[in-house]
Amino acid sequence: MNKYISITFIIFRLILGGFMIYGGVQKFQSPPITPIEVLGKANKFSTPEKESTLQKILYISGAKQTGYFWQVLGFCELLFGLLIIIQYTSLIGSLFLLPITLHIFLFHLFLEADDINELILTSSLFGINMALVLKEKEKWKHLLWMKPI
């Protein structure tokens, strides 16, 4: 049984690392967006029934317009995804990736709640990340709970 658990966590690491590497690479594929392009795209969705789409467009476009945040996020996804895939650095990669997977899940929960497939995927990625962190709790729990002297 222990062998199957080890194989399961290896598969978890590969899945999460693969998704993060893919997502990180995708952030460098599109050219920078200009404020004029954002306005043009936002005007198409300015009716009340398309408000949720407008929120997503403005949120993602705002991150892209900063000139650095979208690329920093992509770099972090790439780096932490690689760290998770490498066996000896998987704990540090999963710890650093935890706020990113939480953010991705919350983005889809609050801005794309109607897309059940995305919610299932992002909650699964966050759950896998949590499982990877909790699997190694003996290595980091002493940082949170000190023994009395």
Exposed (0-12), middle (13-18) or buried (19+): which is 24, by Cβ within 10 Å?
A: buried
Q: What is d(CA 103, CA 94) in angstroms, rounded to the nearest whole number?
A: 14
What is the average per-residue pLDDT within 119-135? 96
Q: What is the pLDDT of residues 20-31, one digit of tens each?
A: 999 999 999 887
Q: What is the pLDDT of residue 133?
A: 94
Place of tokens 């043009």: 40
Confidence at residue 41, expressed as pLDDT on a 0 to 100 scale: 80
- Enclosing H/E stretch for 65: helix 51-65
The whole model's pTM is what?
0.85
